[in-house]
Amino acid sequence: MSRLSRRTVIRGALAAGGAGLAGAPSLAQELPLTPQCAEEGERTLAQTEGPFFRAGSPERPDLVEPGAKARIVELTGFVLTRGCNPVARAVVDLWHADERGAYDSKGFRYRGRVYTDEKGRYRVRTIQPALYRGRTRHYHVNVAAGGKLLLTTQLYFPDEPANRRDGLFRKELLMQVSKAGDAMAARFDFIVDLRL
Ligand code: FE
């Protein structure tokens, strides 16, 4: 799929996602049943795992801690092959800094994994992390399927002034976001190569 056509698809899905925030209980329900891809896509850009990954994160769709003061983010999307086939039962393992910019190095606060459904869709509810020294705002993600780690990368937020100062930032890894009050709907589709 060309960059242009993918962007068009995502924009359409986001419009539905924004409406979902106000009304429907689950943004994931607003995702189309099947992705609309025209061509073979580029694999999602890989990035360094960084020093804060911890193996063994709990499986859970909601990472929000009680009393969290940060903006709530509903992150959804597909895990797809380069040929645009959904990858079912893929693991999306997310970890990120908390609202003060700190990682939990002892437990699993703001660490968790979800599985894609039979249509390749994933959904996780978390917070917008704070920035920490030297970095713009970001999530860390590992994507695995069939027991194989397929992708390690990071996701970025649009319109962050620090994106311009962070040498790791890549615009290809920007999430598509729409804000609704204190919440944010974010969308990112991972394109992986199962032959890795
Ligand atoms: Fe980080």
CA distance 132 to 130: 7
Mean pLDDT of 144-162: 97
Domain boundaries along the sequence of the chain: 6-192
Q: Using CA of residue 160, residue 164, residue 169, residue 174, what is the dihedral sign?
A: positive
CATH code of the domain made up of 6-192: 2.60.130.10
The tens digit of pLDDT for each residue in 35-57 reads 767 677 789 999 999 999 999 99
The tens digit of pLDDT for each residue in 127-151 reads 999 999 999 999 999 999 999 999 9
Q: Is 177 helix (H, G, I), strand (E, B) or coil?
A: strand
How far is the centre of ligand 1, averaged over its atoms, from the C-alpha of 22 (Å)? 30
Do residues 114 and 74 touch, judged by C-beta distance below 8 A? no
Residues around ion ligand 1, judged by CB within 5 A, are 50
How far is the centre of ligand 1, averaged over its atoms, from the C-alpha of 23 (Å)? 32
Mean pLDDT of 61-70: 96
How far is the centre of ligand 1, averaged over its atoms, from the C-alpha of 38 (Å)? 34
**Tokens encoding 7:** 């962007």
CA distance 53 to 55: 7
CA distance 17 to 11: 10
Mean pLDDT of 113-128: 97
Mean pLDDT of 152-158: 98
How far is the centre of ligand 1, averaged over its atoms, from the C-alpha of 95 (Å)? 8
CA distance 111 to 104: 8
This prediction has a pTM of 0.84
